[in-house]
Structure 1
Amino acid sequence: MSEPAGEGLLEALEHMDTAERAEHEAEVSEKVAPDRAFEVSAGETLLAVDGLTVRFGGLTALDDVSFDVRRGEILGLIGPNGAGKTTCFNIVTGVYRPTVGDVRLEGESLARMKRYRIIRAGVARTFQNIRLFGAMTALENVVVGADARHRTSVPGALLRLPRHRREEREATEKAMALLEFVGIADRAADKATSLPYGHQRRLEIARALATEPKLLCLDEPAAGFSAVEKDALSELILKIRDDGYTVVLVEHDMRVVLGVTDRLVVLDFGRKIADGDPDSVRRDPAVVAAYLGGAVEE
């Protein structure tokens, strides 16, 4: 019987010296990092949200919202409940379509694009409520994400032609690297539903990364976490950014937000009320009144 996925890796890691482990971690980082062909210069506009308005009947969820996301940054999208943050995420990822306005990724409009095409264009997300394939293993869940980049035709997959077999092998290798990257490689063979809540959150992030996104959108990833888990999640988000990804973060926990973001956009009642670096935004009187309820403790 073959050993469960991940156990061989863990046993090998236990016997590595410091230099070997550093070399292994560099190899994992190389497998996880986004396709360098996607990269231009850090700081250039990757995503542009332009005059976005969304109405549901008589309710205006977003009202003429504009901001940009710069390549290589972690942008925090914050605001009180009902401010329009998740609606904005849903527009960017194709769940909703805007009533007015546009969203452009590297100049290409996403506003009328189908969801699978948005994923292929380079946008991935997680959800407030975890959405995993519960009957699949952790490894299989991540491989599903990698399938978004496969080019094999249906006949090629059915006939298991060499290209299909190569893509399957590469997807499995990358999936294992991603599970190691997010810290749950030892649970690769476990069913998703059997994983602890925090591991499920990490698994969902790994699956999103498997699509090779140019932009990773994280929707309240710290929800339900303990203080220790939030600190570990913050480290992971920073590691994701440092590995070459651009991140948009919706999160209510201000310690997480202020600990990882490079810039903040604040929404209130569907309107943008602030846009700037975390230190200046946290002191903005409109933000304090609308969201923070007072100064954030040091």
Structure 2
Amino acid sequence: MPESRAVLEVDDVTIRFGGLTALDSVSFEIREGEILGLIGPNGAGKTTCFNVMTGVYQATSGQVRFDGRPLTKLKRHKITQLGIARTFQNIRLFKSMTVLENVMVGTDANSKVGFFDALFRLPRHRRTEAESLARAKEILEVVGIKARYDELASNLSYGDQRRLEIARAMATGPKLLCLDEPAAGFNPAEKQKLMELIRKVRDEGYTVLLIEHDMRLVMGVTDRIVVLEFGKKIAEGSPAEIRDNPAVIAAYLGVDEEDAS
């Protein structure tokens, strides 16, 4: 079976903040239709790498390409419009809005409706609004919280707020969905449900990048894994290959590679 094309390419990316090198010549790719895990100990550079991909930081050198197009100097909303959506470690919902309204914010990200269409509620605006509403409800069905669509986001449980944040990101219509520590604060049962949700999201046609500390979750849900340590890529491969890699064992357990092998 032929290998899927690369949706996103991180090519020899280095980032320096003053005298600190946060990423050092990091390269990898994310292939269409896969779930890629990006892991590493605290301070490894995972979130920094994530932020370069989504336009929060600009690389000191190297390049990130999405669908073959360089993302250098693009604004974050432009990157979203190209097809990259993300969630955050700290939930960032509109707590005073309903569940459905939060997802509708996501569907509006790529709206082509003009100011006057909306102001005078012209047929194009009404049609687009109806399509967005239907799409938002479909996504809430996928993530399992459609029944709570008219509740305030602030009234949801922590786990359902995480699901809502994923739904809002999905609503932007991304080709690549980036999840930053989605299992933070979850108990084991919630983590199991999250694994099922991530697989379901991929089955809906999304390519997924997962940054996560929980090794059991990462090993159980990803197709491939990239491992960072101190800003450098130290390993890449299938979950089985990563599990048995001496450099990865050393990075997580704090032992020499020779002792880990």
SS at match of 1:62: strand
1:165 shift after superposition: 1.0
TM-score, length-scaled by structure 1: 0.83
Is residue 217 of structure 2 the alignment partner of residue 256 of structure 1? yes
1:159 shift after superposition: 1.4
1:43 shift after superposition: 1.3
Which amino acid is the alignment partner of residue 112 of structure 2? R
Q: 2:20 corresponds to which residue?
A: 59
Is residue 124 of structure 2 the alignment partner of residue 142 of structure 1? no
Name the CA shift for 1:42/1:195 in 2 (closer, same or farther; >3 Å). Answer: farther
SS at match of 1:221: coil
Q: 1:280 corresponds to which residue?
A: 241
Q: 2:192 corresponds to which residue?
A: 231
- Equivalent-residue separation in structure 2 for 1:284 and 1:202 (angstroms): 33
Q: 1:85 corresponds to which residue?
A: 46
Which amino acid is the alignment partner of residue 233 of structure 1? L
Q: 36, 47, 71: which is aligned to 2:8?
A: 47
Q: 171, 174, 185: which is aligned to 2:135?
A: 174
1:193 shift after superposition: 1.0
Is residue 145 of structure 2 the alignment partner of residue 184 of structure 1? yes
Give 1:68-83 correspondences, 5 Å limit.
Answer: 68-83=29-44
1:100-141: CA deviations, max 9, x gaps? 111001100112111111001000000000000111000000
The number of residue pairs the alignment matches comes to: 254
Q: 182, 194, 205: which is aligned to 1:221?
A: 182
List runs of 5+ in structure 1 lacking aligned partners: 1-40
Q: 1:203 corresponds to which residue?
A: 164
Q: 1:27 corresponds to which residue?
A: none
Q: Is the 8 A contact 1:234 1:259 kept in 2?
A: yes
- Equivalent-residue separation in structure 1 for 2:22 and 2:152 (angstroms): 37
- Equivalent-residue separation in structure 1 for 2:144 and 2:175 (angstroms): 22
1:11-59: CA deviations, max 9, x gaps? xxxxxxxxxxxxxxxxxxxxxxxxxxxxxx8711110000111111111
- Equivalent-residue separation in structure 2 for 1:137 and 1:257 (angstroms): 31
Runs of 4+ in 1 over 4 A off after TM superposition: none
Name the CA shift for 1:195/1:135 in 2 (closer, same or farther; >3 Å). Answer: same
Name the CA shift for 1:262/1:292 in 2 (closer, same or farther; >3 Å). Answer: farther
Q: 2:259 corresponds to which residue?
A: none
List runs of 5+ in structure 2 lacking aligned partners: 256-261
Which amino acid is the alignment partner of residue 114 of structure 1? K
Give 1:84-103 correspondences, 5 Å limit.
Answer: 84-103=45-64
Q: 1:270 corresponds to which residue?
A: 231
Q: 1:161 corresponds to which residue?
A: 122
- Equivalent-residue separation in structure 1 for 2:146 and 2:130 (angstroms): 17
TM-score, length-scaled by structure 2: 0.95
